[in-house]
Amino acid sequence: MRPALLASILAAGVCLAPAHAARESAAPGEEVVLLHGLARTDRSLRPLEKRLSAAGFWVHNLRYPSTELGPEALVAHLHQQLAACCAGAPRLHFVTHSLGGILVRAYLAEHALENLGRVVMLAPPNQGSELAAALQALPPYHWIGGPAAGEIAAGPPFAALPDGLEVAVIAGGTADGRGFNPLLSDNNDGIVTVAETALPDARDRMTVNAVHTVIAAAPETIAATLKFLESGRLR
């Protein structure tokens, strides 16, 4: 694997800022937790945050140390964040990007939420990642990605979601089915293939023309996410 490709796959910001709510003065109602991907920050989800907030949701765009903690510690960290921001939410939805989807699966397997709403996963490696598996032998993959990168490389089985949960999956890919990365075996967003995002019990799924790093900011993604949170369907 070429160093330039590795750098483009793993480059991202550092998690420094605390979690925050997007609408400090919003009236109580349905709330949404946004969880970014590996080596990203809440900045990557701000376009989505703004659109959901404008639609009337109270949005919590959380930042967590994705490259510093292992899977169990990340679940514990998320539990503390949710206790601080969302314990009294009448209904709590989740929208996740990449690793955030694996994290919410692990969290919900340990913590039953009576106020749990819907979940939208953006480019989640639900079936693992052939790219991560190929990169795991290279030390920089672990230096940059941290302990959670190893979990993605190891692949499934990941924690099961609660029965009856309304979940949608939005994958990235190209209209011709070739994908953005010719080194991968299926239509893909440059990092995760469409097949790898699959979740057997998903209520709805779709593929948008977007690469992995910016899929959350794509207008089609944002519109479909809002539609699912409101109606239980992406379209």
CATH number of domain containing 169: 3.40.50.1820
Residue 27 is assigned to a structural domain of this protein: yes
Instruction: Give me the sign of the Cα torsion angle 156, 157, 161, 164.
Output: positive
Residue 235 is assigned to a structural domain of this protein: no
Count of structural domains within the chain? 1
**CB-based burial of residue 172 (10 Å sphere; 0-12 exposed, 13-18 middle, 19+ buried)?**
buried
141 pLDDT tier (thresholds 50, 70, 90): low
**AA letter at 217:** A
Residue 48 is assigned to a structural domain of this protein: yes
CA 139 to CA 55: how far, in whole Å? Answer: 44
Residue 70 is assigned to a structural domain of this protein: yes
Instruction: Say what the pTM is.
Output: 0.85
Read off the tokens for 150.
């190893």
- Domain of 115 in residue numbering reads as 3-230
Q: Which tens digits make up the pLDDT trace of 11-69?
A: 333 333 333 444 443 335 799 999 999 989 999 999 999 999 999 999 999 999 988 88
Average pLDDT (142-148) is 73
Residue 175 is assigned to a structural domain of this protein: yes
CA 195 to CA 80: how far, in whole Å? Answer: 33
What is the model's pLDDT at position 76? 95
Best CA proximity match to 63, nearest among 85, 34, 86, 83: 34
CA 3 to CA 223: how far, in whole Å? Answer: 35
Residue 146 is assigned to a structural domain of this protein: yes
What is the model's pLDDT at position 155? 63
Structure-model confidence comparison of residues 158 and 65, the more confident one: 65
Read off the tokens for 214.
């910016």
